[in-house]
Amino acid sequence: MDRKQFLKERLTGLGGSDIHHLFNEEPYGCSRKLWYDKTSQEPDYPVIASNIMTRGNKLEQLIREEYVLHTDRKIRRVNRMITSKQHPWAMCHLDAEIVAFDDRKTGILECKSVGRPMYYKIRDEGIPTSWIWQMQHYLLTTNRQWGSYAVLWADNWEFIHFDVEVDAELQESIISAGTGFWRMVENGPAPVQLDAKDKRCSNCEYRHTCQGEKLMVLAQGNSDEVPFDNSLDTLMNEYATVKVLQEETAALVESKKQDIKEALGDRVLVDCTGFRLYYKPVESTRFKSSALKKENPDLYEKYAYKSVSRPFRIRSI
């Protein structure tokens, strides 16, 4: 199936990558954004494929080959959109089917290409919730009973795979949410907005249509009074892509720090191979400047001083 046909067909129903939006699942899910997309609303800003998405598309065939090599299972491509007979809004385009073997009937293969932070997060903590919704949607749509994830960290060429079974409770949630959402696509109204301060709104291609003046107020400026320079667009799109990677890495680093703290317990100084760990209590003295200014304004004015800085902030508009 060519890309143009795929994009046209995906507007006629809900695919696997849409499902986490139904539940406003963090960090990227938003049902209102999905509604704009499925009702063919013109985005305020161009939708630019990130390097992460490009990487996934380019590596998909290699991941399939790696899965066959590691599992000795047979797979087959399915080059068409599949639609559920029971739920016409449910559709999917599979990376591959796993040919029946032993006592296993035909399964579904989902290929994922990830960076280092996500690879270790998956290995240590399990798969992201959005992937869980995606696979259960595929199983629901195809009426299959099991599927398998194939995950590749290409930089270090590390590969993991694992099987999952159908989950009737999750599928009931998908049916309920999907049916209600598609009714809104056909008849309205739009789903409720996220809070304008939500970080998901900052990179949304529909943010002006959806939030409008709320984002302008947050940005503390008026577009009529601020110079416009679209030569910065490329840099800002690159920034948005890198920021996603930064947030994934930061969350993983903080998680590991917490694990280390728990392992240290009450110990304040510990050596291990290649590292020295410090976890000492530190006391610091701080002044309540507002209280000082109120109770002793002359003393406050005597020692207060002004400094000049140039803070750099980015807000969506």
- CA–CA distances in Å: residue 152 to residues 60, 65, 67, 127: 9, 11, 9, 13
- Domains (range + CATH), the chain: 3-187 (3.90.320.10)
Q: Which residue has the tokens 């047979």?
A: 74
pLDDT digits (tens, 9 = 90+) for 241-290: 777 777 777 777 887 888 888 898 989 888 988 888 888 888 877 777 88
The residue among 124, 97, 126 whose CA lies nearest residue 109 is 97
Q: Please classify residue 16 by burial: count the beta carbons closer than 10 Å to its beta carbon, then call 0-12 exposed, 13-18 middle and 19+ buried.
A: buried
Asked if the model's pLDDT at residue 220 lies above 70, the reply is no
Which pLDDT belongs to residue 11?
A: 85
pLDDT digits (tens, 9 = 90+) for 49-95: 666 677 778 899 999 999 999 999 999 999 889 999 999 999 999 99
Which pLDDT belongs to residue 158?
A: 93
Q: Which residue has the tokens 């679209």?
A: 230
| Contact status, residue 298 vs residue 196, Cβ threshold 8 Å | no
Which pLDDT belongs to residue 235?
A: 83
The residue among 274, 303, 270 whose CA lies nearest residue 289 is 303
Per DSSP, 222 falls in state -
Which pLDDT belongs to residue 56?
A: 77
